[in-house]
Amino acid sequence: MQEEKESKVCSPRCGRAAQRWRRHRERVDMLARPNPRRLRCLWDEACHALPLDRRDKIKSALEEDYFLSPEQTEQYFQSLQKSQKPCGGGGGGGSGGGVLYDRKEQAERQKHLKQRQKWLIDFSAQVAYRMCDYVAKGQKELLVSNRLRSIADVVLERVAQVLGEPKPTRAHPGRLQRFMVAISDRIAVWIENAVYQADEALEEDSKCDDHMSLDSGKAH
Quick one: pLDDT at residue 70? 63
Element (H, E) at 29: helix 2-32
pLDDT tens track for 60-116: 776 666 555 666 666 666 666 665 555 444 444 444 455 555 777 777 777 777 777
Q: What local confidence, expressed as pLDDT, does residue 3 receive?
A: 47
Do 218 and 171 meet the contact criterion of CB atoms below 8 Å apart?
A: no
Span 6-19, average pLDDT: 55
pLDDT by residue (tens digit) across 163-188?
888 998 888 888 888 888 888 888 88
Q: What is the mean pLDDT of the chain?
A: 71
In this prediction, residue 178 carries a pLDDT of 86
User: Contact, 111 vs 105, CB < 8 A?
Assistant: no
> What Rg, from alpha-carbon coordinates, does the chain have?
27
Domain positions in the chain: 1-32, 35-86+95-137, 141-220
Yes or no: say if 62 and 73 are a contact pair by the CB < 8 Å rule: yes
pLDDT at position 154 is 92
